[in-house]
Structure 1
Amino acid sequence: MNAGRPELTGTFGAVSSTHWLPAAAAMAVLEKGGNAFDAAASAGFVLQVVEPHFNGLGGDVPIVSYSAATNSVQVVCGQGPTPQAATIDHIRSLGLNEIPGSGLLPAVVPGAFGAWMRLLSEHGTLPLADILDHAIGYAENGFPLLAGTADAIEVLAPLFMTEWVESGRVYLPDGRPPAVGSRFRNPVLADTYKRLLREAAAVAGGREAQIAAAERAFYQGFVAEAIDTFVSTTEVLDSTGRRNKGLLTGQDMSNWHAPVERSVQLQYGDYAVHKPGPWSQSPVFLQQLALLDGFDLRGMGLNSADYIHTVAECAKLAFADREAWYGDPDHSDIPMDVLLSPGYSAERRRLVEAKAAEALRPGSPSGRRPFVPEQVADAPVPTDSHWMSQIHNGLPTVVKATAARNDTCTIVVADRFGNMVAAVPSGGWLKSSPVIPGLGLSLGTRAQTMTLTEGHPNSFGPGRRPRTTLSPSLVLKHGKPALAFGTPGGDRQDQWTLGFFLAVAEFGLDLQSATETLAFHTDHFAASFTPHESRPKVLVVERDCDPDVIEELRSRGHEVELVPELSLGKVCAVGVNQDRDLLQAAASPRGRQPYAMCR
């Protein structure tokens, strides 16, 4: 299969993103003399403007990066925690079995702004005004509206007109849904960015002092005050069919500062693969690699029945462990070292059989008993309103009759100085909760991924990071940066990017060809988003798969579900060809929207 896109190579900089405008902004920042950290942050803020159905200023972002100056990899955790008032008893007292996927109840501290500020303060070089310039320009002067954004606004327009009226002011110019491709503006959001800059410029000191001032303005100043006032005084209609107040306060925001952590890593052949910790689903990528390391994938052949079956069965085992063991390590004992150990991986590998597994089978690291909470969904509210059925599902975009849900955003950057950054922003999308008056942003709803069962690493509780699906990847080869990549896709991110990585590491494909190879995934485990559905034995495969392979997979017990070609994922990647001393960039043709640049 040849989708017609070349791999891009160069010497100055490499950028790839799920939208062409953030990619262009990142390259512009590199051209201005900034580094990969500056460029990634600038693109991250543009993504908040031009993909509001996927992310926003009130959302989250994990960032994994390599610094040439320190020769080290670090993770900035932009996943904000739950409020201090977040208790299981409170949610149960409302008569609920799960945390709603929309409204104010599932809101957490917005982590994206703090994460980008932390990255910039430690590794950036340009003034904050240069970083926010592109986002302000698009919010103030407009940008072409994507079809996905327009679809979401049209479906939700009745909700915005009658209940979430501030969202209506932002997203229904002239009182009606904007057209696909029309020039859309968010002047209120532009004013928020500009006020953050004004308060930053008012302090004495240099670049770092201004970044710190902008962070204070967000988490302790006017942004936190507006959020506190709205959440504490407003009952919001949500997916329960009732109006509920939220739990987030200005004090919750003031107490938080984006932490910097060591990555979790695994050696796979010549590659050292680095991921965020188990407060995200990221380590399932490493667990899959640890399992697959015992199979002859090259001998099977790329996209053969043996290959797809083996990869899918290992995904089932890794994600079963996610369900049992992952959560905030600050509040739970997560046996990550054991889960990635050779002995444990060998034990689990023996569970892969010729037939598709039917049961969810989490492991017992060090003999510990696994615990997977039962998902008890609240019944959908009886309604004739299409928008109500949509907000009952916690996914970012309007849910259509397809398995190809490419939600969330990605930005990856490599620069001429040897730095590399991968980030997967999400949360705070327009479907999540009402726009906060005066700010032009919505709060995220990541707490919906948590369980109301006590004693689990991902149990709902005060000050805990919900287990996020967001999962950027960074890979070193011989101790130097080799790859950075990510994709939208919720729970499926670490299956679609795994296929990309194996195509490069095992089969020698160039980056662009690897983004275009056949994609597939299993939905064997419970989804992170409400209503937490699972589809045991279902294997979703793009329909350009060899028909003989499909028939063989079905004979092995997989319930194969075919979806359109080039519909699963939007992998974005940058890399370094160490032999040729060249930068590389690639973007999946899926969705016709991801864009890579290299010079």
Structure 2
Amino acid sequence: MFTTRPELSGDFGMVASTHWLASATGMSVLERGGNAFDAAVAAGFVLQVAEPHLNGPGGEVPILLWDAREERVSVVCGQGVTPAAATLEHYAGLGLDVVPGTGLLAATVPGAFGGWLLMLERWGTWPLADVLAPAIFYAERGVPMLPRIADTIARVERLFRDDWPTSAATWLGHGDRLANPVLARTYRDLAERASAAATREAGIAAARDAWYRGFVAEAVAEFSLKTAWRDSSGGVHGGLLSGDDLASWEASVEEPLTFGYRGHTVCKTGPWGQGPVFLQQLALLDGFDLDAAGFLSADYVHTVIECAKLAFADREAWYGDADVPVDDLLGLPYNAERRGLVGESAGRELRPGSPGGRSPRLPRLPGARVRAQAGTGEPTVGRDGSVRGDTCHVDVVDQWGNMVSATPSGGWLQSSPVIPSLGFCLGTRAQMFWLEEGLPASMRPGVRPRTTLSPSFALRDGAPWLAFGTPGGDQQDQWSVNFFLALVHGGLNLQEAIDAPMFHSEHFPSSFFPRTARPGVMHVEERLDPAVVAELRRRGHEVEVLGPWSLGRLSAVARDGGFLKAAANPRGAQGYAVGR
């Protein structure tokens, strides 16, 4: 089949990401003797500068990695938690029934810095100053002002001028080169503190301490608690983050959740993120014959979409930073019963199951009147098919067999006002909580939001095979599933699977403000066979056909047949894979 670019193949190293500068940075680290973990961290910090509308220092990052020495997959959780003051009573007192999608009130502890540093400390080899150097260079000198960045800034220019003056000072007035000298100064200060330490590990610890207990934490707390500016609720609200909130948090290492499918073992984060919904889809699909259906046939697409609806309904009822019945959700009896709900016609209801006999409870969709504001939530796919940005992704494999899949996000330039002394804004991930008691994803202090960020890793016949992922909010664990199935059932290579016509469901509530749902609606790229689209409509799907290259921003690296391989997304003319 036609591909937009070749699948890369070599034996030294591969980097694939959502921006060519990050991919080139990661590859330069590999070329100079760094390993996959050093390369991913350096690339991750560059993404904060090169794609500030998609991620930033105040955001978060979940990471899946394979350590060739330990021969195991680990999860690094760089997802910060809610402030101690983030109670249901506080939000109710403000008259809110949904957390605003922008502004200070939706901030959680900025976890990306801690997540990247934990991976560098435990698995990397380079000093912090060396991995920060490319990001400092680009922040000082500037990066190309991509049309998507310029468009994002233009959409929020009035908001910046009227309500967020520190953001106006940081992001307005640039030409074709976007620089952030204040952020460069912040990272240079951290690099100098790290370089002054006696050892590499001590330097990383010194920088982490400055971030979570030193000058960064002090600036975050002061700005959050003393500033009250307008947000997407239409009201003026201050923040809740305190110095104690930052000081008491640290990134963690966890075991992945896994599911075996047709000789492959897929690894994901725990249910504090939406990652297990990928595994639930596989558990349902395992009882269907997708090979007999035919890749991208009407039967194939219908089955995948209907299984996604069931899995995401369970996400709504059961997922959160709580006691989630994962074993039951992934169990054979449960999925055999759930599989029977997939009929010949499109399902129109949100139907969570009863794992272990428990009764599901869905959140009440909010009825809040919201202010129309650009930058709200995590804009992913426009009704016209344009991909307006939301998150980043980076994958790395090195010559020793180490592999990384990371999905940094949050702290978007359009999401919250810039902290003037630091050069970045806070994230807004708390918008994913429900302001309703008794749900796994209910707002409460000191817990992680049920993030949509969802890096992926897969083994084949027990050996490390594939690191992959995509931006896309709620679509991440649909587009990634489609890509994986294209490899397993479609027989495509990495680039062919990325380039193949993409589709997803809009059936379930959005994880982002203002939390709307579109029951029965699915999006497809117009390259999907028109006869397939017609048959899907006949079965009751409300199919909206979008642009031919509008859905998905996947990238991937692999170890396959004695070679290292990589591929990246052509959509948006921004992602790139490099390697040799």
The answer to whether structure 1 residue 390 and structure 2 residue 357 are counterparts is no
Q: How many Å separate the matches in 1 of 2:249 and 2:19?
A: 30
Distance of 1:574 and 1:323 partners within structure 2: 31
| Aligned-partner SS, 2:532 | helix
SS in structure 1 opposite 2:100?
coil
Paired with 2:7 and 2:385, the residues of 1 have a C-alpha distance of: 29
Alignment of 1:225-374 (within 5 A): 225-328=218-321, 332-374=322-364
Distance in 1, Cα, partners of 2:446 & 2:218: 19
Q: How does 1:170-569 map to 2 (within 5 A)?
A: 170-173=170-173, 178-179=174-175, 182-203=176-197, 205-328=198-321, 332-381=322-371, 388-391=372-375, 393-396=376-379, 401-402=384-385, 404=387, 406-569=389-552
> Where do residues 112-191 of structure 1 align in structure 2 (5 Å cutoff)?
112-173=112-173, 178-179=174-175, 182-191=176-185
Distance 2:195 2:367 in 1: 48
CA deviation string 1:191-239 (max 9, x = no partner):
0100111122233x21111011110010000000001111111111111
Cα RMSD (Å)? 1.3
Shift of 1:380: 2.2
In 2, the alpha carbon distance for the partners of 1:354 and 1:238 equals 44
Gaps of 5+ in 1: 382-387
- Aligned AA (2:564): L
Residue 159 of structure 1 deviates from its aligned partner by 1.9
Q: For residue 107 of structure 1, what is the amino acid of its counterpart?
A: A
Deviation of 1:399 (Å): 6.1
TM-score normalised per structure 1: 0.95
Aligned to 1:41: 41
Give the SS at the match of 1:390.
Answer: coil
Q: Matches of 2:404 and 2:414 in 1, distance apart? A: 28
Number of residues of Structure 1 aligned to a counterpart in Structure 2: 580
- What's the offset of the Cα at 1:247? 0.4
Instruction: List aligned pairs for 1:42-61, cutoff 5 A.
Output: 42-61=42-61
Give the distance between the partners of 1:380 and 1:461, measured in 2 at CA.
23
Query: Following TM superposition, by how much is the alpha carbon of 1:479 offset from its aligned partner in structure 2, in angstroms?
Result: 2.4
Query: What SS does the corresponding residue of 2:535 show, helix, strand or coil?
Result: helix
Classify the secondary structure of the residue corresponding to 1:590: coil
Range 552-561 or range 478-487, more displaced:
478-487
In the alignment, is the contact (CA less than 8 A) between 1:316 and 1:360 conserved in 2?
yes
Whole-angstrom distance in 2 between the partners of 1:403 and 1:154 = 16
In the TM superposition, what is the alpha-carbon distance from 1:406 to its structure 2 partner?
Answer: 4.5
Q: C-alpha distance in 1, partners of 2:367/2:115?
A: 32
| Alignment check: 8 A CA contact 2:129 2:194 kept | no
Matched residue type, 2:2: N
User: Does the 8 A contact of 2:385 with 2:547 survive in 1?
Assistant: no
Displacement of 1:272 after TM fit? 0.8
1:404-433 CA distances to partner (integer Å, 9 max, x unpaired)?
454210000001111000000100001110
Q: What is the TM-score when the length of structure 2 is the normalising length?
A: 0.98
CA distance, structure 1, for counterparts of residue 528 and residue 158 of structure 2: 41
Aligned-partner Cα distance in 2 for 1:501–1:4: 19
Residue 345 of structure 1, CA deviation: 1.0
The answer to whether the Cα contact below 8 Å between 1:53 and 1:396 also exists between their aligned partners in 2 is: no
Residues 284 and 307 in structure 2, CA contact (< 8 A), matched pair in contact too: yes
1:329-361 per-residue CA deviation (whole Å, 9 max, x = no partner) reads xxx220011101111111111110000001000
Go from structure 1 to structure 2 and tell me whether the alpha carbon gap of 1:109 and 1:588 turns closer, same or farther (over 3 Å shift).
same
User: CA, structure 1 residues 22+264, in 2 after alignment: closer, same or farther (shift >3 Å)?
Assistant: same
SS at match of 2:14: strand
The separation in 2 between residues aligned to 1:238 and 1:397, in whole angstroms, is 20
Aligned residue for 2:427, secondary structure, equals coil
Distance 1:554 1:400 in 2: 18
| C-alpha distance in structure 2 between counterparts of 1:84 and 1:506, whole Å | 47
Query: How much has 1:243 moved relative to structure 2?
Result: 1.5
After superposition, the Cα gap between the structure-2 partners of 1:556 and 1:508, relative to the gap in structure 1 and judged at 3 Å, is same
Secondary structure at the aligned position of 1:427 is classed as: coil
Q: Distance in 1 between matches of 2:91 and 2:244?
A: 21
Provide Cα deviations, 1:257-311, integer angstroms capped at 9, x if missing partner.
0011000000112111100110100110000011101111011111000000000
Counterpart contact for 2:404–2:467, Cα < 8 Å? yes
Q: Distance in 2 between matches of 1:564 and 1:310?
A: 23
Q: Distance in 2 between matches of 1:256 and 1:380?
A: 32
Q: Report the Cα distance in structure 2 between the residues aligned to 1:50 and 1:398, rounded to whole angstroms.
A: 20
Shift of residue 368 of structure 1? Answer: 0.1
Change (3 A) 1:405 1:520: farther
1:196, 1:217 within 8 Å by CA — same for their partners in 2?
yes
Distance 1:547 1:162 in 2: 47
Secondary structure at the residue paired with 1:591? coil
Partners of 2:389 and 2:102 lie apart in 1 by 19
Seq. identity, %: 56
CA distance in 2, matches of 1:403, 1:327: 30
Match of 1:571 in 2: 554
Q: Is the 8 A contact 1:13 1:583 kept in 2?
A: yes
Q: Does the aligned pair in 2 maintain the 1:377–1:532 contact within 8 Å?
A: no
Residue number in structure 1 paired with 2:110: 110
Greater mean alpha carbon deviation, residues 55-64 or residues 156-165: 156-165
Measure the CA separation in 2 of the matches of 1:70 and 1:218: 30
Give distance in 1, aligned partners of 2:265 and 2:454. 16
**CA distance change for structure 1 residues 30 and 377 in 2, over 3 Å: closer, same or farther?**
farther
Contact 2:30/2:39 (8 A) holds in 1: yes
